[in-house]
Structure 1
Amino acid sequence: MTKTGTTQSTPSNVASSYTSIGGTKQKYVWHWNQQAIAVAYETRGEGTPMLLLPALSTVSSRGEMREIAAGLSDRFQVVALDWPGFGDSDRPALDYCPQLYHQFLADFVASTFDRPIAIVAAGHASGYAMRLAKMQPERVDKVVLVAPTWRGPLRVMGVPDPVRDFVREMVRTPVLGDLLYDLNTQPAFLQFMYEQHVFVDKAHLTPEFIAQKQENTQHAGGRFAPVAFVTGTLDPASDRAEFLGYFQPLPVPVKVIIGDRVPSGSRTEMQTLTQLPGVLSEVRPGSLGMHEEYPAAVLEAIGDFV
């Protein structure tokens, strides 16, 4: 595995179990429109490289993939990252858009790996992983999609484009934007959202868990990328036809893992993928956060596929 850019490596603090995969922390310095962005990532284990991509969300962090990484690191050199604008990565006040993330992922993979890799992608990361496989199949060996989504929350709710655009611009403004972001990252609100469609068992939502998630939102510039996700601005495809086009014809072997308790709208979209030629699929316990809540079930579904 080769790397470019300024890299710093330090062992992870085991106590930060909600934001780390327990490996060696590194930084990948990437440039977008002449803006340098330090992207946090970690490596754990030895062997064939595998990339883990956390779901995009207000609390997105590579730590979501900790138990998945632990279960795979005896066979693979696992790499997990924080997307630009999320987690421990830099969060500049950029106009976050799909083009930024498509280009970032392509550049990161080209710079970090010297052979084709398997990718495990959760939620919205699925669309970005599939587009990379479609455009550069020589860099991707196989793809596992865990509870794959392609529409942001407000798009799923049917909020009209003008309203979503208004919300995004309000959160991007000084002072008012900070206030709105603060209201939407309070522990009580995060708890509510997890209970609604992310986790199944409320017992898993301990005060420590919610506190760590809330702490993850408290970074300078933290509001810009999350509001882009919530309003659908980071959707990896403009419509269903474009998203399904990433799978037709299938560029690499793909397996889709669906939670048995995902919201009905998301379930319909996921089941559409399972009907495409060549796509393997399994149903396992969980909802949209199944990769974090039920990692053992996800690891079992990944099985020998990778």
Structure 2
Amino acid sequence: MTASIYNPATQIGGETQFFEWVWQNQTYSVAYETRGSGTPVLLLPAFSTVSTRGEMQGIAEQLAPHFQVVAMDWLGFGQSDRPPLNYCPALYRQLLQDFVRAHFQQPIAVVAAGHAAGYAMQAAQQPNLFSKLALVAPTWKGPLCAMGAPTPVRDGVRELVRSPGLGQFLYGLNTTPGFLKFMYRRHVFVNEARLTPDFIAAKHQITQQPGARFAPAAFVTGTLDPVANRDEFLTVGRSLTIPTLVVIGEQSPPQSKAEMEALATLPNVQSVRLPGTLGMHEEEASEVAAIVSPFLRA
């Protein structure tokens, strides 16, 4: 399949390549990019309607002088293929494990944002896959789930957005530049001055790729939640045997921040608090990298 191409500003400044990944007897192209040299570090962007590896660009710039930085677009997002699959946690768990095993000969360090943190934590239970975890504003609960929408409602919304015609219309309403700016201002960025017309236009362009609605519909409705509840989230956290750092955004929404704080209380987890909210890996990239870099090099 041919991957979608969009504004190069959404990349991290390296060479774009594609991993040909087989899922249920079909092959899909997964975009990734490499920058710098040295010990490898994998950067995993947060799941969102506008998810791309480009949101990790600021962190990549800070780490590239010391590491070989690899950033990946999840299937269904960014520059990767966006087929109309029934996206689910099992797909992304397998993709992450297969990507790492295909590209790295030794356990690697991972910097994961948002929902990607949950998938990285689960993958870390596999032997000899990861060496360190840096989890930036880690979350596990999708937007409609966090709002308290019952499962039948969330399932109905997902199927509506997946449907032809009406689904594309509903998706379009929820990805207008005005709505994207509203969502960023509400819980993604703290500094509204960063939400320039050019910034919002670039984010909007990401939503306009063929097949763009399918994976985001799964994320928004909680279908991609890596765990079912906080107890399961913390059980995964307690199972970690590698060095783990949690970066908590001080201005994160109360529910999300409570999950970050709960994870930070585990005895095997280091934590630090910085200004920022759910998009702090992009908005406060320099500050996050300044904390993550020495942790990775220790």
Structures share fold, TM-score greater than 0.5: yes
Partners of 1:280 and 1:187 lie apart in 2 by: 38
2:83 maps to 1:92? yes
Q: How does 1:178-189 map to 2 (within 5 A)?
A: 178-189=168-179
Letter in 2 for 1:224: F
2:130 maps to 1:140? yes
Which position in structure 2 is the counterpart of 1:3?
none
Partners of 1:248 and 1:45 lie apart in 2 by: 33
Which position in structure 1 is the counterpart of 2:102?
111
Which position in structure 1 is the counterpart of 2:233?
243
Question: 1:243 deviation in Å?
Answer: 1.6
2:8 maps to 1:16? yes
Question: 1:81 deviation in Å?
Answer: 0.6
When normalised by structure 1's length, the TM-score is: 0.94
Deviation per CA, 1:10-63: give whole Å up to 9, x if none. xx99x722x100001000010111121100000000000110000000000000
SS in structure 2 at match of 1:41? strand
Q: Is the 8 A contact 2:56 2:71 kept in 1?
A: yes
Letter in 2 for 1:16: P
Letter in 2 for 1:151: K
Q: Is the 8 A contact 1:62 1:81 kept in 2?
A: yes
Q: How does 1:1-306 map to 2 (within 5 A)?
A: 16-17=8-9, 19-134=10-125, 136-306=126-296
Partners of 2:86 and 2:26 lie apart in 1 by: 12
SS in structure 2 at match of 1:255? strand
For structure 2, the residue ranges without an aligned partner over 5 or more in a row are none
Question: 1:84 deviation in Å?
Answer: 0.2
Q: Is the 8 A contact 2:109 2:133 kept in 1?
A: yes
Question: 1:275 deviation in Å?
Answer: 0.5
Partners of 1:187 and 1:249 lie apart in 2 by: 41
When normalised by structure 2's length, the TM-score is: 0.96
SS in structure 1 at match of 2:8? coil
Q: Is the 8 A contact 2:63 2:293 kept in 1?
A: no
> Between Structure 1 and Structure 2, how many residues are aligned?
294
For structure 1, the residue ranges without an aligned partner over 5 or more in a row are 1-5
Partners of 1:181 and 1:304 lie apart in 2 by: 41
Partners of 2:189 and 2:127 lie apart in 1 by: 33
Deviation per CA, 1:252-277: give whole Å up to 9, x if none. 11000011110111111110011001
Partners of 2:240 and 2:47 lie apart in 1 by: 24
RMSD over equivalenced CA pairs, Å: 1.5
Q: Is the 8 A contact 1:155 1:232 kept in 2?
A: yes
Runs of 4+ in 1 over 3 A off after TM superposition: none
SS in structure 2 at match of 1:102? helix
Question: 1:303 deviation in Å?
Answer: 3.5
Letter in 2 for 1:112: H
Q: Is the 8 A contact 1:165 1:231 kept in 2?
A: yes
Question: 1:278 deviation in Å?
Answer: 1.5
Partners of 2:34 and 2:132 lie apart in 1 by: 19
Letter in 2 for 1:140: F
Letter in 2 for 1:188: G
Partners of 1:297 and 1:285 lie apart in 2 by: 9
